[in-house]
Chains A and B, each alone.
Chain A
Amino acid sequence: MRLGQLLWRRADPAKARHRAGVRVLLPAALPLAVLGIWWLALLRQWVRPYQLPAPGMVLSAFQEMLARGELQQHLAATSSRTVAGYLLGAVPAVVIGIGAGLSQSVRAFVDPTIQGVRAVPSLAWVPLFLLWLGIGERSRVLLIALGAFLPVYLNALAGVEGVDRRLVEVGRAYGLSGAAITTRIVLPASLPAILTGLRAGLSLAWMFVVAAELIAASNGLGFLLVDGQATMRPDRVLASIVAFALLGRISDAALGAIERRALRWRDSLGTAEPPDRTHPSPLSAEGGVTP
């Protein structure tokens, strides 16, 4: 349930119908308006086609690149290095973040350094990576990994730190071992924060793959962007942007689906009504029942 609904909720069928219309029309309104202005700008010759091609031309550039297999090849290059960089950054980030949340000494060991690295805008590392690793796949993947690492680490750390101490006490009171408390209480309790971090890390990974490919690459969607600029093909640039948008949306939706499934238990407010007592009045019942 949306917070707004909670704040201004009314049971009114006319309102409900109105809301259904809002759900369909409102999200489409802004893109349609942009398309309209785009088309109008070309019609009135506010911009030249070599600066901004017509929507149809972008579409046909898209189709043409698909037909030649060009787009697939660049999509594959970009996705594989994003996935590689993301895994390289996010997996250690989860482990180190949890470790730092659990142990004061791990935290004292890694956190100041990571905070120091965080203070540097990540793209500032690019020249160094290029110097060390050369213009190649390794420096690109490393840059993506660095971008993905920070949000995942920060969220995992905050998640573990924010675990309700009272739930940890339940484990202690019932004699669970430290390892059992960690795996059965601390980790599930910090899962929401970790998943938030993983999603943030993914969006940064997409951002950094663009940066990496803009700077130095001979394939990938980022390369397609630079190439389109160099060859004065804004239709190809826009088609690459659309491809990026699709990749980003699809990967985020996939993570979102995983998140919704893993966090079913906290899905907004109570949706199901709790079943009522299945028994008659306690007075008429035959007293206490034994297990």
Chain B
Amino acid sequence: MSGAAVSVQTLAVTLSGRPILHEISFAATPGEVLAIIGSSGTGKSTLLRTLAGLVSPERGGVDVRNGDERARIAVVFQEPRLLPWLRVAENVAFVMQGPRPARRQRAQAALAAVRLEGCARIWPRQLSGGMAQRTALARALVTSPHLLLLDEPFASVDALTRMELQDHVVELWHQHRFTVVLVTHDIDEALYLADRVLVLGGHPARVQAELDVSMPRPRSRTDPRLLALREPLLHALATPRAVSASGG
């Protein structure tokens, strides 16, 4: 399996009459990991929702292509969005197709991968915030997506679990080479995971800066080359309408 090619062209999105996104253009090649950062309320989630087909653009367009086949898209929303009437394992199996036993088995495996094997039979309301978010991640990964859209998926877990989950995504990426668009507040997370970082900002939001992180995986979190990239990224975040930064 491979990743989907994503192309966003002069995208403009208006919500309730308010322009949120303006003239957004970028592309992701199959298997590329793209991180999007930007301050709260700029429109990162809106951009991701547009990629997922949940928001229709005012102008411009989004194209997600997987050769000639339909691209499977999986989303981890900013909130877990589990169905409260289904047990945890059923929530994971919910998005899968195929015979029941196979679905259940894969759901169980996906839960084990996010360290929730003991929680399969409990209700979502019995999960902590981080556990619920991990369930949502399992639900996304179990569909073998071509495009994985992640909206701050690790925001509500502790630092150690976060690193563990990041590595889990990287490992799956190595196996399946899906394309990833990751929205995050965490600069280090963006640098650790992404091939490219887009900085979103302004009202309405545009792509204000773009940073290449051309480093092979597996990466080390303490790699000085990664740490050196923090500064241009922080700079791009702090200065509106910064020009394209580049590193690597």
Binding site for B on A (CB under 8 A): 166-167, 169-170, 172-176, 184-185, 188-189, 191, 263-266, 269-270, 272-275, 277-279, 281-283, 285, 287-291
Q: With A166-B79, A173-B73 known to touch, is A265 a contact of B112 (CB < 8 Å)?
A: no
Cβ contact of B106, chosen from A191, A287, A291, cutoff 8 A: A291
Task: State how many angstroms separate the Cβ of B219 from the closest Cβ of chain A.
Answer: 14
A288–B125 touching, CB < 8 Å:
no
> How far is it, in angstroms, between the C-alpha of A272 and the C-alpha of B142 when the chains are bound?
27
Q: Which residues of B lie under 8 Å from residue A272 when comparing CB positions? A: 122, 126
Q: With A266-B125, A272-B122 known to touch, is A174 a contact of B95 (CB < 8 Å)?
A: yes
Interface residues of B in 85-119 (CB under 8 A from A): 85-87, 94-95, 106, 109-110, 112-113, 115, 117-119
B83–A167 touching, CB < 8 Å:
yes
Task: State how many angstroms separate the Cβ of A158 from the closest Cβ of chain B.
Answer: 18
A287–B167 touching, CB < 8 Å:
yes
Interface residues of B in 113-142 (CB under 8 A from A): 113, 115, 117-119, 122-128, 131, 141-142
Interface residues of B in 27-71 (CB under 8 A from A): 49, 52-54
B164–A173 touching, CB < 8 Å:
no
Binding site for A on B (CB under 8 A): 49, 52-54, 72-75, 77, 79, 81, 83-87, 94-95, 106, 109-110, 112-113, 115, 117-119, 122-128, 131, 141-143, 160-161, 163-164, 167-168, 170-172, 175
Q: Which residues of B lie under 8 Å from residue A188 when comparing CB positions? A: 83, 85
Q: With A172-B54, A175-B72, A272-B126 known to touch, is A185 a contact of B83 (CB < 8 Å)?
A: yes
> How far is it, in angstroms, between the C-alpha of A185 and the C-alpha of B86 when the chains are bound?
10
> How far is it, in angstroms, between the C-alpha of A265 and the C-alpha of B85 when the chains are bound?
5
Q: With A278-B117, A279-B115, A283-B160 known to touch, is A289 a contact of B168 (CB < 8 Å)?
A: yes
B81–A170 touching, CB < 8 Å:
yes
> How far is it, in angstroms, between the C-alpha of A214 and the C-alpha of B160 when the chains are bound?
72
Q: Which residue of A lies closest to B94 (CB)?
A: A184
> How far is it, in angstroms, between the C-alpha of A170 and the C-alpha of B175 when the chains are bound?
25
B126–A291 touching, CB < 8 Å:
no
Q: List 8 contacting pairs A-B, 8 Å CB cutoff, sorted by A.
A: A169-B81, A172-B54, A173-B54, A174-B75, A266-B84, A282-B163, A282-B164, A291-B106
B131–A291 touching, CB < 8 Å:
no
Q: With A175-B73, A275-B122 known to touch, is A290 a contact of B54 (CB < 8 Å)?
A: no
> How far is it, in angstroms, between the C-alpha of A135 and the C-alpha of B85 when the chains are bound?
47
Cβ contact of A282, chosen from B95, B109, B113, B161, cutoff 8 A: B161
A275–B171 touching, CB < 8 Å:
no
Q: Which residues of B lie under 8 Å from residue A172 when comparing CB positions? A: 53-54
Task: State how many angstroms separate the Cβ of A262 from the closest Cβ of chain B.
Answer: 9
Cβ contact of A173, chosen from B53, B83, B125, B161, cutoff 8 A: B53
> How far is it, in angstroms, between the C-alpha of A170 and the C-alpha of B80 when the chains are bound?
10
Q: Which residue of B lies closest to A192 (CB)?
A: B85
Q: Which residue of A lies closest to B143 (CB)?
A: A174
A290–B85 touching, CB < 8 Å:
no
Q: With A281-B160, A282-B161 known to touch, is A291 a contact of B85 (CB < 8 Å)?
A: no
